[in-house]
Amino acid sequence: MSNIRKAFENGKAFIPFITCGDPDIETTAEIVRAAVQNGADLIELGIPFSDPTAEGPVIQGANIRALSAGITTDKVFELVSEIRKDVKIPLVFMTYANVVFSYGAERFMSKCKETGIDGIILPDLPFEEKEEFTEPAGKYGIDMISLIAPTSADRVSMIAKEAQGFIYIVSSLGVTGMRSEINTNICDIVRVIRENTDIPCAVGFGISKPEQAKAMADISDGAIVGSAIIKIMEKYGKDSPRYVGEYVRMMKEAVSEI
Amino acid sequence: MSQSKGRFGIHGGQYIPETLMNAVIELENAYNHYKDDPEFNSELTQLLNEYAGRPSNLYFAEKLTRELGGAKIYLKREDLNHTGSHKINNVLGQALLAKKMGKTRLIAETGAGQHGVATATAAALLGMECVVFMGEEDTKRQALNVYRMKLLGSDVIPVKSGTATLKDAVSEAMREWTSRINDTHYCLGSVMGPHPFPTIVRDFQAVISRESRTQILEKEGRLPDAVIACVGGGSNAIGSFYHYIPDKDVRLIGCEAAGRGIDTFETAATVNTGKIGIFHGMKSYFCQDEYGQIAPVYSISAGLDYPGVGPEHANLHDIGRAEYVPVTDDEAVNAFEYLSRVEGIIPAIESAHAVAYAMKLAPAMDKDKIIIITVSGRGDKDCAAIARYRGEYIYE
């Protein structure tokens, strides 16, 4: 069974996204630990990419800061090895297809297994192209996480049937970033997913406030937050672990409320 | 398991967010329906001929031929099209297709501004809304084209992210498309991006070689020995090559922007310096570092200043059917001035890359050989920038 399922055994899951290397790798490790201590159930670690086409301005900024500070894929693997000494919750990478492809998919997956990564999210890898990555991933027991969007329509069941780890439901059209309202009918998407698979699904894109996270977690298995956390990191820099920790605690409490 | 579509050898595919998948599938279905529809084709031909001024001339550059002293040189005059470049061929096709699909809004990226101007023009003609994304750096290099787009009723959004050039304009147009799909068609300007764009754009640009093949057979009674075109994403080049691909004796030569040289970091010569990667919806060659971070490329030509190349070109390179040669800023500027002086034709600085290579190739060929150079656009837009390159500061 996928290790990722453990993230959904502690009530509704709260999943923070953290860009690795912003402002530096040491701070990233502290932020991850602060998130874990405050109730994060699974963490998405972003490997920065020069041209993140699925990201809004906030996460684009984090990518640029981290790359300027010298982050590389190898340094991210070192970071994962280091935090795996004490961090036990599932960890997944969120990056772009070229980061994995240029490293060599097989070599990348083997490093994931070696360092303790459980899954990979590639927002520019749709269902039709996934085989090239799911094959090497499968060899090393790494889950390739599928995304389902508000525009997926007739594609939801096809994607759900072959999904691994958990399903990332994209809440809204457009790129990542905070939104005041989420209008998509997530319930319909979740219903179709449930008809096709029993793997968990969590909602991301646009969530920043506790009430939004609770609303999304109520109709799925969890909530994913990226830009709001990156905002905190942008504001507090090296001092951000404490503030990210406080935010994660507040969000985990919100999704756990009945 | 659904299979990957739109492959050229190992290149191409559809590496895009799930949010856009149904949009590209809808586009593919519509294109497959309309491409053989007699009414669509007659409307498009009408627009190309009556509005854009096709067919474009295949002009025997007698003086250029004499000066260079080798092969006979013909110029395929895409610079004479309405809006001043080959971009209009693709744009009229896509805009008409979008209109048939019920879309009311076009978005586009632009580098030099030629594709942006063409899209703004088609939008004005067909009564559609239009938003053009342009790197902020390029809005400065090509200020005249920004004004033209606005004059034509389009919004121009300067893109500040990344290197603020063409690749960032593409990224931003893709981001915009994911946020508004229902009424919006992304009118991609080159043979790149996810399937079906490389195929659609190539088909609409193939009019260049369809015409030139007929024209050269009329004038010379035989096919050319070489066809030369500049390559950024590669739309005028694939259009210039396409109908000659089965003719193995016709050399197909794509001229990449080497910027300050392929041994420097200030280059945009993708096939010559890049490696295989996945970016902007496609697998192809990209300028990138060892970790797959896309390189901040450079060329004097805003239209060739792109770190990737269309997947069909990547495959033509792999199978050895086409050659891709680097041409530096200096060589292109010299050719820009040379063609202006010798033939009275001011080429776009992009097209000047193709002219520059022909200036090297033609003298080495026998006088009974034939070269066709595609002059993909006219150079009025570049005059101020070339003047600056030569240290002369003029007002546009």
CATH number at residue A59: 3.20.20.70
| B1 in any annotated domain | no
pLDDT range class, residue B163, cuts 50, 70, 90? confident
With contact defined as beta carbons under 8 Å apart, do B120 and B148 qualify?
yes
Residue appearing with tokens 């023009």: B121
- Across the strands, what pairs with B130? B106
Residue B301 vs residues A1, B173, B343: alpha-carbon distances, Å: 54, 21, 21
With contact defined as beta carbons under 8 Å apart, do B270 and B230 qualify?
no
| B294 in any annotated domain | yes
CATH of the domain at B62: 3.40.50.1100
Span B358-375, pLDDT tens digits = 999 999 999 999 999 999
Q: Which residues in chain B are contacts of A170 at CB distance < 8 A?
A: 17-19
Distance of CA B10 to the CA centre of its chain: 22
The residue of chain A nearest to residue B164, with distances taken between CA atoms, is A51
Backbone angles phi, psi at B291, to 5 degrees: -100, 10
Q: Specify whether B232 is located in the same domain as B271.
A: yes
| B394 in any annotated domain | no
Residues A132-157 have a mean pLDDT of 97
The percent of residues in chain B predicted with pLDDT above 90, rounded, is: 93
Q: Which residues in chain A are contacts of B286 at CB distance < 8 A?
A: 98
Indicate yes or no: CB of A101 within 8 angstroms of CB of B20: no
Q: Which residue of B287, B291, B294 is the best one to mutate when testing the A interface, meaning the one whose CB has the most A CBs within 10 A?
A: B291
Check residue A1 and give its pLDDT. Answer: 65
Instruction: Name the DSSP class of B6.
Output: S
Check residue B393 and give its pLDDT. Answer: 87
Q: In this model, does residue B395 exceed pLDDT 80?
A: no
- Across the strands, what pairs with B153? none
Handedness of CA B159, B162, B166, B172 (dihedral sign): negative
Q: Specify whether B44 is located in the same domain as B179.
A: yes
Span B194-244, pLDDT tens digits = 999 999 999 999 999 999 999 999 999 999 999 999 999 999 999 999 999
Nearest by CB: B293 against A54, A67, A146: A67
Q: Specify whether B329 is located in the same domain as B245.
A: yes
Query: What number is the ipTM of this complex?
Result: 0.97
Q: Specify whether B378 is located in the same domain as B255.
A: yes
B16 CB within 8 Å of a chain A CB: yes
Q: Specify whether B277 is located in the same domain as B362.
A: yes
Check residue A34 and give its pLDDT. Answer: 98
Check residue B396 and give its pLDDT. Answer: 59
pTM value > 0.90: yes
Helix (H), strand (E) counts: chain B: 16, 14
Q: In this model, does residue A209 exceed pLDDT 70?
A: yes
**Cα separation, B206 vs B254, whole angstroms:** 15
Check residue B302 and give its pLDDT. Answer: 86
Nearest-Cα distance to chain A for B15, in Å, is: 5
- Positions of B annotated as catalytic residues are 87, 109, 376
Q: In this model, does residue B144 exceed pLDDT 90?
A: no
Residue A161 vs residues A22, A32, A127, A138, B58: alpha-carbon distances, Å: 36, 32, 11, 16, 55
**Cα separation, B122 vs B129, whole angstroms:** 10
Q: Which domain holds residue A244?
A: 3-256
Span B7-33, pLDDT tens digits = 999 999 999 999 999 999 999 999 999
| B290 in any annotated domain | yes
Span B82-135, pLDDT tens digits = 999 999 999 999 999 999 999 999 999 998 899 999 999 999 999 999 999 999
Span A86-98, pLDDT tens digits = 999 999 999 999 9
**Cα separation, B314 vs B332, whole angstroms:** 23
B157 CB within 8 Å of a chain A CB: no
Q: Specify whether B270 is located in the same domain as B316.
A: yes
| B396 in any annotated domain | no
Of B201, B221, B247, at which residue does a domain stop?
B201
| B307 in any annotated domain | yes
Of B152, B168, B201, at which residue does a domain stop?
B201
Check residue B231 and give its pLDDT. Answer: 98
Q: Which domain holds residue B13?
A: 7-48+86-201
Q: Name the residue among A155, A167, A207 with its Cα closest to residue A184.
A: A207
Q: Which residues of A touch B (CB under 8 A)?
A: 49-51, 53-54, 56-57, 60, 67, 72-74, 96-103, 123-129, 131, 146-155, 158-159, 162, 170, 173-175
Of B201, B228, B263, at which residue does a domain stop?
B201
Span B230-280, pLDDT tens digits = 999 999 999 999 999 999 999 999 999 999 999 999 999 999 999 999 999
Q: Which residues in chain B are contacts of A227 at CB distance < 8 A?
A: none
Handedness of CA B285, B287, B290, B295 (dihedral sign): negative
Handedness of CA B385, B387, B389, B394 (dihedral sign): negative
Q: Name the residue among B275, B167, B17, B284 with its Cα closest to residue A102.
A: B275
With contact defined as beta carbons under 8 Å apart, do B181 and A151 qualify?
yes
Indicate yes or no: CB of B21 within 8 angstroms of CB of A128: yes
pLDDT range class, residue A136, cuts 50, 70, 90? very high
Q: Specify whether B165 is located in the same domain as B217.
A: no
Residue B283 vs residues A229, B70, B267: alpha-carbon distances, Å: 32, 39, 20
Indicate yes or no: CB of A50 within 8 angstroms of CB of B19: no
**Cα separation, B123 vs B225, whole angstroms:** 39
What residue type is assigned to position A130 of the chain? K
The residue of chain B nearest to residue A67, with distances taken between CA atoms, is B293
- Across the strands, what pairs with B274? none
Q: For chain A, give the number of residues.
A: 258
| B167 in any annotated domain | yes
**Cα separation, B238 vs B203, whole angstroms:** 9
Check residue A182 and give its pLDDT. Answer: 81
Strands B184-186 and B105-110: what pairing? parallel
The percent of residues in chain A predicted with pLDDT above 90, rounded, is: 93
Check residue B2 and give its pLDDT. Answer: 56
Helix (H, G, I), strand (E, B) or coil at B219: helix
Check residue A133 and give its pLDDT. Answer: 98
What residue type is assigned to position B311 of the chain? P
Check residue B141 and give its pLDDT. Answer: 77
Which residues have C-beta within 8 Å of that of residue B204, sequence separation ≥ 6?
A: B89, B90, B92, B93, B94, B239
Q: In this model, does residue B156 exceed pLDDT 60?
A: yes
With contact defined as beta carbons under 8 Å apart, do A69 and A21 qualify?
yes
Q: Specify whether B180 is located in the same domain as B94.
A: yes
Nearest by CB: A54 against B14, B17, B161: B17
Q: Specify whether B213 is located in the same domain as B254.
A: yes
Q: Specify whether B331 is located in the same domain as B370.
A: yes
Alpha helices in B51-161 (DSSP H): 62-68, 87-100, 114-126, 136-141, 143-151
**Cα separation, B346 vs B336, whole angstroms:** 7
Q: Specify whether B174 is located in the same domain as B195.
A: yes
Check residue B60 and give its pLDDT. Answer: 98
With contact defined as beta carbons under 8 Å apart, do A237 and A68 qualify?
no
Check residue A96 and give its pLDDT. Answer: 98
User: What's the structural domain count of chain B?
Assistant: 2
Q: Specify whether B191 is located in the same domain as B269.
A: no
Residues A48-72 have a mean pLDDT of 96
User: What's the structural domain count of chain A?
Assistant: 1
